[in-house]
Amino acid sequence: MFLEELEKREKIAFLELAAMIARIDGKLSIYENSLLKKYQREMELDDYELEGLSIEEILTEFKSERSKYIVLTEIFQLIYSDGVFHDHESEFVHIIKRHFGFDASEFGTFKDWVEKIKELSVTKRER
């Protein structure tokens, strides 16, 4: 949705983060896999090979507030793509939240907003 606004190094970091989170529950769902491919196309990283960067290496790439919000928005969409918010995904989100400096109320409001977007997209697909 907003990934094209990221700088090249942020796009790479985002793709690494998305792949890490998509595989966190031990399996890659069809929805998660298609979303990862969509991210690669959207960011023009079709030929990028994942390097397996650490979470610390990834998160330090995002400096601006806008980049951080873009990352969190897209990560929530990825997490909710399979319909389940796993404990491991929750732990990862809290690591991201702490690193980005989001306070609890701001983060809660943001999470609620992303959940509503997800509900709307599911409702739209069912029609």
**Which of the pair, 73 or 40, is modelled with greater confidence?**
40
CATH superfamily of 3-126: TerB-like (1.10.3680.10)
Counted residue by residue, the chain has a size of 127
CA atoms of 56 and 61, how far apart (whole Å): 9
In contact, 106 and 113? CB cutoff 8 Å: no
Q: What is the pLDDT of residue 64?
A: 95
Confidence of residue 72 (pLDDT cuts 50, 70, 90): confident
The predicted-structure confidence for 3-52, as pLDDT tens digits, reads as follows 999 999 999 999 999 999 888 877 777 888 888 999 999 999 999 999 99
SS3 string of the chain?
Answer: CCHHHCCHHHHHHHHHHHHHHHCCCCCCCHHHHHHHHHHHHHCCCCCCCCCCCCHHHHHCCCCCHHHHHHHHHHHHHHHHCCCCCCHHHHHHHHHHHHHHCCCHHHHHHHHHHHHHHHHHHHHHHHC
Joined together, the tokens standing for residue 123 give 């409702």
**What are the residue boundaries of the structural domains of the chain, listed by start?**
3-126
* pLDDT tens digit sequence for 99-118: 998 876 666 666 676 666 66
> What's the pLDDT score for residue 73?
85
Predicted confidence at residue 69, as pLDDT, reads 87
**Which of the pair, 21 or 79, is modelled with greater confidence?**
21
pTM of the prediction? 0.81
Q: By C-alpha distance, which of 23, 98, 99 is closest to 57?
A: 99
Q: Mean pLDDT across the stretch 68-80?
A: 86
pLDDT at 28: 79
